[in-house]
Amino acid sequence: MPETSADKLISCMSVVEYPKGFRILEAGKVETSVFFIGQGIARAYIPIDGREVTFWIGGEGTALVSLRSYVSDEYGYETVELLEDSVLYRLDRGNLYSLFEQDVNVANWGRKFAEREFLATEEKLIPLLFTTASERYEVLLKNNPELLQRIPLEYLASYLGITPVSLSRIRAKVKLR
């Protein structure tokens, strides 16, 4: 993106800081902002049968967005919680839509952003169907080893679709190699 377009985008963002445990997005609410993690880590979860099922984890450089709110202006189904004290960049959806109309470079950035989010969702869902929990853990270990030190095991197990006990067994086997 040309510098002038990037400057327009950056000028519409504000820096916000929140503590560990803060819920950036809450299920049942319409969120009108997109957040980018400058520092920290977050997880997205939904409640199922009295427990929280983590389906997304992201660190620095990732976006926090309720796609349902963003696309359809409807309430989101997920809650996004910060797992560390965090610095975020907040971008109001209305300002972003205005930039899309004013600047084709920002509009193209938005399209590419949406494509990357869609691809990331696909890359998460397909392996859930065709790989074992051990294989999913090893991919996470290979691609995001820093996250493993920063995420409580119960959330990591939920993210991988297994119990904490199963995760402990997998981790023990990996360490033996």
pTM of this structure:
0.84
Quickly tell me which residue has 């853990």 as its tokens: 137
The answer to whether residue 71 sits within a structural domain is: yes
Average pLDDT for the chain: 90
pLDDT in tens, 75-134: 999 999 999 999 999 999 999 999 999 999 999 999 998 898 888 888 878 877 788 888
The answer to whether residue 62 sits within a structural domain is: yes
CATH of the domain at 16: 2.60.120.10
pLDDT at 21 over 90: yes
The answer to whether residue 118 sits within a structural domain is: no
Q: Which residues contact 101 (CB under 8 A, 6 or more apart)?
A: 107
pLDDT in tens, 141-175: 888 888 778 899 899 999 888 888 999 899 888 77
The answer to whether residue 25 sits within a structural domain is: yes
Average pLDDT over residues 14-19: 97
pLDDT recorded at residue 161: 86
Q: Is 107 exposed, middle or buried (0-12, 13-18, 19+ CB in 10 A)?
A: middle
The answer to whether residue 24 sits within a structural domain is: yes
The answer to whether residue 142 sits within a structural domain is: no
The tally of domains found in the chain comes to 1
Domain that holds residue 18: 3-104
pLDDT in tens, 57-76: 989 999 999 988 888 889 99
The answer to whether residue 91 sits within a structural domain is: yes
Quickly tell me which residue has 């990732």 as its tokens: 62
The answer to whether residue 163 sits within a structural domain is: no
